[in-house]
Chain A
Amino acid sequence: MPRGTNLTADVCVIGAGAAGITLALELAGSPLRVIVLESGGFEFDAETQALYDGRSIGVPYGDLDLPRLRYLGGTTNHWAGECRPFEEADFEAREGIPYTGWPLKKPDLDPFYARAVEVVRLPTHDWSLGHWASEDSPPPLPLRSDRIVSRVVQEVEPDIRPLGESYREELRAAPNVTVLLHANVTAIETDRSGRTVTSVEAATLGGNRFSVAAETFVLATGAVENARLLLVSNDRQPNGLGNQNGLVGRFFLEHPRFLAGYLVPSGADPNLGFYRDHRVDGHLFTGFLASAKEFQLAEGLLDLQIRLELDYGDAPDDAAGFARHLMALAGDIDSWQELTIPGAPVPIPYLDVIREALEDPEDTYVYLRGDIDAIGLTTRIEQAPNPASRIVLVRERDDLGMHRVALDWRLSDVDRRNVQQTLELLGAEIGRAGIGRVRILHPNEPGWPDDLNGGQHQMGTTRMSDDPKQGVVDRQCRVHGMSNLFVAGSSVFPTPGGATPTLMIIALAIRLADRLKATMAR
């Protein structure tokens, strides 16, 4: 493309991850001319990924770019595929927890969830225990009350998860959709009023620059980049677009996770198959534990997932540890019986067993050893909205001259209280059912444990609210104060819910696409 080219479209979508690709797919075949600008190419590229680099200046978060991938398909390129819709209570304001509550309700989104299921090709829109805890599945834990409940996430098949790859041909074939790769948007330009976007400036790492003018623009670059692009676009609005109330970048949300406790089972094998990845009728899903919504509402808490992770004792985290494990395995005669070719003069493992062991030595050891010391209870907390938790611009600039960002991740007392109270409840229920005992790690400690990290779900920096003083976008995902700038993706979540975000991202993108098709056709 010649330098300085000015492209035009009806809709310009910035970013080709879960949200951007869904938008493009939904707009394909419509009368609207769509240009999708994707920073990366078809494959991972370290130089492009480095444009995401940023600092963490709050609660330790790890590498800011780790959860994200900057090429076609975006973060779906390393997505675990877990899907579950938000529940009705997730949309409600919680007493005593400020900034909770969505302007939308569950029924508003149900039709779009049903379509989102089709995008990721899940077998059903049914997440009920009745559907998944069938006779073909290991049973959920037999708890005696409904204060702790088992829930399921469906898992998208691995070959579908990278949406860029899955829908590449479909996008290529769409006559009204053009996807431009290696196109990094560096600024959003507006008219003099600063209320209408006229074009976006794009640059390649090779030095080319061009612009795209459109009637409507949709930011779909993830929670960090959406905020960053709005903040750096400050030619007409000194604080950045949509930031007249200082909210852009604030309310950064995550699903904080850490090892919160152990379940020590009373039996040798507590049959936790329901809580491991497994298939029923060929469909992949896994179970988890959570407190009931009634408990959350009564106690003034948000949601909290508890994942059960089998703990087999010493992990082979170094060469000496791995050698010890191999020795243990070599001495484990019962394992060799199953894995070796009978009739041979000495134990010879089968080819497939060797293959598996080479691919994943640690897991292979775990399978073979086959006895459980304890069950790790890992949390995935629905972080309470906190305005101090935010993305900010810093002085450093990336290779394209854009300010980099820093994450000042802040958590709240209610997040910590949520873990403590939910695990106490779980312990009581587990004990009452005779399943075992729960040991809470770091009980009643005010701070956060060293292994605290994000759940790789970045959300909330352009939150949705009908009130411009409470949110950056309205219920239609349009930036408050802007006539033609929309935001897609998890940055619009006012609260993160207990579920994984991708299905919601896709559902909201479908809803936005419908809205654009309906309004722009007029």
Chain B
Amino acid sequence: MAAESLAGVTRRVLAWVLDVAVVAALIFVVVGAVDELLEPTVGVHPDAATLEDVLSADEGRVAVNAVLAAGLSACYFVVPWALVGGSPAQLALRMRVRGSGSDASLTVGRALVRWILLFPPFATVSALAAGVPYIGALAWGIAVVWYLVLLVTTARSDTKQGLHDRLAGSVVLARRPAAAHGGAGVR
């Protein structure tokens, strides 16, 4: 039977990248399909009279897309965390997420908090603030700093719990062969 230890930062970052790629593709396909069925959300008009008119966005559709994309992202992470203890990439890389302090699975509430902390709506803020000077850039700037904070706090934590784990009450474990386990591993 495989034993478990605290998941290392490298494997967790790799899982995060894979999950982001998959969920981005999922959102692209779904929103793209909706755009194909209805009118495109963003129109490109090379013949427009002014530069400002080259791009046009249907604000209502932008809002709907924000909800749709955020919903897909939440479903992608929150549901498997709560039901099977790991996102698709985490499971593929033999990791699982559970509540800290006990052996219990992550509750939906904790999974939701973890999702919000790991995938904050920077893109939404940035998109909705399009045209407002500095707000979009500020959102992305904060995003970079936020992820650096999560990375550093995870790496420096004895229990490999980054700030998001501590706030959501979660811990990430990695499975490995029993003969090889040791150190701070948790059985």
Contact = CB atoms under 8 A, between A and B. Distances in A.
Interface of A: 137-138, 269, 271, 273-274, 276-279, 284, 333-334, 336-348, 350-353, 356, 360, 363-364, 367, 370, 372
Given A338-B57, A343-B69, A346-B24, A333 B136 contact: yes
A279 B47 contact: yes
A345 B147 CA distance: 12
A280 to B, nearest CB: 9
Interface in B124-138: 124, 126-131, 136-137
B127 A337 contact: yes
A138 B47 CA distance: 13
A137 B42 CA distance: 22
A271 B123 contact: no
Interface string B109-144: 000000000010101101111110000110010000
Contact of A343 (B40, B41, B67, B140): B67
A343 B49 contact: no
B83 interface: no
B93 interface: no
Nearest to B17: A346
Contacts of A334: 130-131, 136-137
A334 B126 CA distance: 9
Interface stretch (B30-38, B152-160, B167-175, B179-187): B30-38
Contact of A352 (B44, B70, B71): B44
6 contacts: A273-B53, A278-B49, A341-B69, A342-B126, A351-B32, A364-B44
Contacts of B47: 276-279, 284
A344 B69 contact: yes
B65 A341 contact: yes
Interface string B24-63: 1001100110011000111110111111011101000010
B55 A343 contact: no
Contact of A342 (B23, B32, B123): B123
Contact of B49 (A138, A337, A351): A138
Given A343-B65, A345-B23, A363-B46, A370 B51 contact: yes
A35 B45 CA distance: 43
B40 A137 contact: no
Contacts of B124: 342-343
B28 A348 contact: yes
Contacts of B90: none
B62 A367 contact: no
B18 interface: no
A138 B48 CA distance: 10
B65 A352 contact: no
Contacts of B79: none
Given A342-B62, A345-B123, 8 more contacts: A338-B130, A338-B131, A339-B42, A341-B69, A343-B27, A345-B73, A352-B41, A367-B46
A270 to B, nearest CB: 10
A346 B66 CA distance: 12
B42 A333 contact: no
A372 B44 CA distance: 19
Contacts of B126: 333, 336-337, 340, 342, 347
Contacts of A137: 49
Contact of A274 (B49, B70, B136): B49
Contacts of A356: 44, 46
B126 to A, nearest CB: 5
Contacts of A333: 126, 136-137, 140
B3 interface: no
Contacts of B43: 352
B51 A337 contact: no
B150 interface: no
A341 B31 CA distance: 8
B34 to A, nearest CB: 10
Given A271-B50, A333-B136, A334-B137, A350 B123 contact: no
A343 B42 CA distance: 15
Contacts of A360: 46
Contacts of A367: 44, 46, 51, 54-55
B73 A344 contact: yes
A353 to B, nearest CB: 6
A266 B148 CA distance: 42
Nearest to A345: B119
Contacts of B28: 341, 348, 351
A372 B28 CA distance: 32
Given A343-B27, A348-B24, A351-B28, A278 B123 contact: no
Contacts of B71: 343
A340 B123 contact: yes
B2 interface: no
Contacts of B121: 342-343
B49 A276 contact: yes
